[in-house]
Each structure stands twice: as structure tokens, then as C-alpha cells.
Amino acid sequence: MNRTYELMFIVRPDMAEEDQDRLISSLEGAVGSSGGRVTNVEKMGKRRLAYTVRKFNDGIYILLTFEGGGGLVRELERRLRVSEPVIKFLSVRVDEEQKRLDKIKAVKEARRRAGSAASPAEGGTQEPAVTA
Amino acid sequence: MAEEITVASSSAPEAQVQTPERRPPRSGPGGGRESGGGRKYFRRKKVCKFCVEKIEAINYKDVRLLAQFVAESGKIVPRRLTGVCTPHQRRLSSAIKQARNIALLPFAGRAS
């Protein structure tokens, strides 16, 4: 059961850099211990929140992409809930959407290849029409 | 037949058109005749932005894109105003709701 999830969370804006790193590495440890794999960690930096959350108007956004099962998501969310500097989080499953996008891309690629293969066969009729 | 014309002309002196309710009295600019629906100006056909620009991915992180479909008040702009097609509006609205949950977009407008 390997699914890909994105876990985006917001920590309070006055959190120190090393504290963020410590939090991230603890989450990575949790992912690793339950058989998952962290594929990407992205610190998106400080951003203005669209609305006030726990009396904060700014927050530091961190995005964690990982592979694993549903139990792992539950564990990570539990950890985020109990860790005090985290003010908001959202976990989204992305593999199905990614699969859909890959499919569309493949279809488009195939169509493009078919089109480019067909146009030399048709020869001069297609080429000037495009340039003109 | 002559009698009928005189009756019509007595009610509307300058016109011999048999359907007076069809004529829009207030239509100033031309081109209003063939539409017939009382539409006073030409409305351009709206097209789905995502279909036209071939945007496949509607992601909750893409605030720039999503913000175009959110009104000042924070509401999702309906399809009939933006012209977005049904499948894309469905993805769009779920993405907007995800973005709201992670405080990228407001639930209610700036007023709050």
C-alpha cells in the first residue's frame, strides 16, 4: 500500500531555523520507522496567512512529500497536533492526481509524436500551412 | 384588408408592422433585431480558461491561479460568470477549499 501524500503544515513565524529542522527530522524519522519514504522536503518560507490562526497573521510553510500508507498519515498528523509550534496542517493524497496527469501527458506526447510522424508523410501540404 | 390596416394605423400611426410587441422601443444600437431575446448588447461566448490554456493541474498550492476564481468576498465565483466547464470547476472548487484550509485563501473576505 504505497501512496504518495503531501503534508503541508504551518509553524509559528517566530520559530527558529534549527527548531524547524529538528521538527522536520523527527517527522522524517517517523516516516522511516513505519516503512515510508520521504521524497521531498520544501521550506516555502514565511507567508502572510489569509486569516488569523491562533492569533498569528504570518506563518512559515513547510511541505513534506512522502510515500506510505494511511496509518502513517494518522501518525504524522497526531505528531503535528501535539507539537506546539505547528499552527495548521493539511495532508493531501497526490498519487491519483499525479497518475491522471501522467496519463494526460502520455496521451499528449503520443498524439504529438503521431502528428509529427504524419506530417512528413503528407509532405508539402502541411508544412506551408503552418508557416503561412 | 384595408379596414385592418386602418385599425392598426389608428393605434400606431407611423407603422404598418403587424407585431408591435416585437419592436423594442429602447434599442439604440443596431444588431438587436436578430437576437430577439431582448438582449441589448453582444455578449462574447465565455470559454473555460483551463481548456483553452491547457492547464491540467489545478493544485491548491497555486494561489495565483485560484485567486482568479475567488471573489473579493472570498466566495468561489460561479461557473455561469467565469465560463469554466464542469469538470474543471469541480477540481477548482475542491482545490480552493483545500487552499482555504491551509490559510492560503480566505474563507470570508478581507473584511473579517
Domains of chain A: 3-95 (3.30.70.60)
B99: nearest Cα among A10, A26, A76, A115: A10
Cβ pair A8:B102 closer than 8 A: yes
| Pairwise CA distance, residues B59 & B53, whole Å | 15
Q: Do A51 and B61 touch (CB under 8 A)?
A: no
Beta-carbon separation of B112 and A49 below 8 A = no
Asked if A53 has any chain B CB less than 8 Å from its own CB, the reply is: yes
Q: Report in angstroms the alpha-carbon separations of A19 from A12, A15, A53, A64, B8.
A: 11, 7, 20, 16, 89
pLDDT of residue B102: 92
Question: What are A24's three cell numbers?
Answer: 522536520
Reply yes or no on whether the pLDDT at A27 is more than 60. Answer: yes
Q: How far apart are CA A98 and CA B55, in angstroms?
A: 14
Chain B: residues touching A (Cβ < 8 Å): 56-57, 60-61, 98, 100-108, 112
Domains and CATH numbers, chain B: 1-43 (no CATH), 49-101 (4.10.640.10)
pLDDT-derived band at B38 (thresholds 50, 70, 90) equals low
pLDDT digits (tens, 9 = 90+) for B53-83: 888 888 899 989 999 999 989 899 999 999 8
> pLDDT higher for A40 or B34?
A40
Contacts of B88 (CB under 8 A, 6+ apart): B48, B49, B50, B51, B58
Residue in B with minimal Cα distance to A88: B102
ipTM over 0.85: no
Give CA A20 to chain center in angstroms: 19
